[in-house]
Amino acid sequence: MTCIYSAAGLLTGPGLVHDRPFRAPHHTVSGVGLVGGGRGPRPGEVTLAHHGVLFLDELPEFGRATLDVLRQPVEEGSVTLIRANRSTRLPARFALVAAMNPCPCGQLGRTDRPCACTPATVANYRCRVSGPLRDRFDIQVEVPALPAKALGDSPPGESSSVVGARVAAARRVQEGRAPDGGRPVNARLTPDLLRRLAAPDPDGRRLLRQAIDQLGLSARAHDAVLRVARTIADLDERESVGVDQVAEAIQYRSLDRGSQPNSRLLAAPQ
Give the pLDDT confidence of 40-81 residue by residue, as tens digits.
Answer: 778 999 999 999 999 999 999 999 999 999 998 998 899 988
What CA–CA distance (Å, rounded) separates 141 from 228? Answer: 13
pLDDT digits (tens, 9 = 90+) for 11-23: 334 445 568 899 9
pLDDT of residue 138: 92
Q: Where are the alpha helices (DSSP H) in the chain?
A: 31-35, 45-48, 64-68, 71-76, 119-126, 131-134, 148-153, 160-177, 191-197, 202-215, 219-235, 243-251, 254-257
Per-residue pLDDT at 8 exceeds 50? no
Query: Residue 248 is which amino acid?
Result: E
Dist CA 120 CA 122 (whole Å)? 5
Tell me the per-residue pLDDT of 182-194, one tens digit each, with 9 for 90 and over: 667 888 888 888 8
Which among 34-38, 87-91, 246-250 has the top mean pLDDT? 246-250
Neighbouring-strand partners of residue 87: 82
